[in-house]
């Protein structure tokens, strides 16, 4: 597979996403109700996806990230049907987390880019995954670091230039989010930089 993200760009993405999302460890909010494990670190709910180049780059100095073996037929089918540039992975878990080695997936969760019908990123929104009981959607917009939001928006814009397929995926997710909001009589909540 031809690399689309250079090492220089990988480092830039890491710097952009290293800004604190929020001024406290959000894992401490949900972990007590999930046997001490933050829900975003629970591999039964969230399987980290690394881009092929990111996986290779993250493994150059150690083996913090490993490929996730498919545990069920359903997971194997999901992996087989996913984009070939994804590497479904696992880390040592929250007890051994090294924040500087987190994946881009970990550094952006629970946010996704929201894309309007013209294809422009209008802000960050909470992902459509309702299976994960993340406490962050209950926090007011002002609780989130503006620098992080701005950096994350830059990350997504630059990533979409390298992976236009991802832009298409998030456009579909944005339409889905809008349909859900319309059905429930709510507005799509966006965080902007």
Round to whole Å and give the CA distance between 18 and 99. 9
**Tokens 């799509």 — which residue?**
188
pLDDT at 178 over 90: yes
Give pLDDT, residue 135.
82
Give pLDDT, residue 177.
94
Q: Among 39-53, 90-104, 133-147, 160-174, which is the least confidently predicted range?
A: 39-53
Round to whole Å and give the CA distance between 156 and 168. 12
The phi, psi pair for 67, rounded to 5°, reads -65, 140
pTM for this predicted structure: 0.90
| CB within 8 Å of 164: residues ≥ 6 apart | none
Give pLDDT, residue 43.
67
Confidence of residue 28 (pLDDT cuts 50, 70, 90): confident
75 or 9, higher pLDDT = 9
Give pLDDT, residue 45.
64
* DSSP assignment letter at 183: H
pLDDT at 92 over 60: yes
For residue 21, how many other CB atoms are within 10 A of its CB?
22
Round to whole Å and give the CA distance between 173 and 183. 15
């Amino acid at each position: 597979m031809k690399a689309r993200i250079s090492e220089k760009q990988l480092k830039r993405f890491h710097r952009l996403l290293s800004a604190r999302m929020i001024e406290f460890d959000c894992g401490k909010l949900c972990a007590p109700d999930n046997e001490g494990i933050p829900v975003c670190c629970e591999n039964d709910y969230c399987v980290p996806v690394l881009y092929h180049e990111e996986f290779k780059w993250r493994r150059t100095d150690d083996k913090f990230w490993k490929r996730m073996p498919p545990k069920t037929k359903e997971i194997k089918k999901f992996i087989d049907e996913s984009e070939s540039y994804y590497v479904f992975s696992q880390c040592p878990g929250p007890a051994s987390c090294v924040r500087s080695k987190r994946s881009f997936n970990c550094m952006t969760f629970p946010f996704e880019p929201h894309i309007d019908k013209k294809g422009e990123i209008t802000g960050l929104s909470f992902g459509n995954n309702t299976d994960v009981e993340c406490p962050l959607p209950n926090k007011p917009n002002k609780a989130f670091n503006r620098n992080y939001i701005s950096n994350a928006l830059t990350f997504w814009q630059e990533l979409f230039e390298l992976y236009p397929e991802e832009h298409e995926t998030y456009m579909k997710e944005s339409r889905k989010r809008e349909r859900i909001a319309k059905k429930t009589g709510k507005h799509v909540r966006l965080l902007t930089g």
